[in-house]
Amino acid sequence: MKMQEDKHNNGLEPQKWIERYGDALYAFAMMRLHRMEVAEDLVQDTFVSAYKAKDTFLANASEKTWLISILKRKIIDYFRKKSTQNELNIFDKDAKDDFMNHFFDKETSGHWAEGGSPQAWGKDFETSVESDEFQQILSNCLGKIPPKAAAVFTLKNVDDLTSEEICKELDITPSNYWVLMHRAKLQLRECLQKNWFGK
């Protein structure tokens, strides 16, 4: 059955979804995933899932809102899958030592390592072009953070979920959450320092 045949089904117009909402859904996904190929895949999956579930649409929300709600669920499912994969164990002693020694001086009981302390950024956006450039660099930096840490950071700072909600969604402990968040912030700060504020 072609999508055009379902034009009036529950007020939905599936044949116009890509044209009307494709860019908005892709931007929504990229803001959270920072990986182009993953964002494209999840947007495509969203349209397929929405088409299969079109008979359940109750019209108590707009098409766009409904599609975004489906995409949001797919993004969280993607984050959950990433959080259960065999990534580097954040509590692995060698990994922890390497990470901590990068930012902190082990000889001085946790003080900042030379060159590891936060620097004053003192850079203002003078034009919208600079703001756009910063957003691109921020997205690139978030894309370099390990997926599990990026998921925690994004769900907290983009989707405004509480730490309890994030732990539940990703099936992680509060201790795991705080370690991931701390690492994400440090790595993001370092990347921004090198690629934007330090330029």
Specify the pLDDT at position 69: 94
Q: What is the mean predicted confidence (pLDDT) over 145-169?
A: 91
Q: Where are the domains of the chain?
A: 3-84, 93-197
How far is Cα 78 from Cα 170, in angstroms, rounded to an integer?
10
Query: At 109, is the secondary structure helix, strand, or coil?
Result: coil
Using pLDDT thresholds of 50, 70 and 90, give the confidence band for residue 5. Answer: very low
Asked whether the predicted pLDDT for residue 19 surpasses 70, the reply is yes
| CATH class given for the domain over 3-84 | mainly alpha
pTM greater than 0.85:
no
- pLDDT digits over 134-144, tens only? 788 888 888 88
Architecture in CATH of 93-197:
Orthogonal Bundle (1.10)
Residue type, 148: K
- Tell whether the torsion through CA atoms of 75, 79, 84 and 87 is positive or negative: positive
Q: Are 96 and 51 in contact (CB under 8 A)?
A: no
Whether the per-residue pLDDT at 61 is higher than 90: the answer is no
Mean pLDDT, residues 10-32 = 91
Residue 17: pLDDT band with limits 50, 70, 90: very high
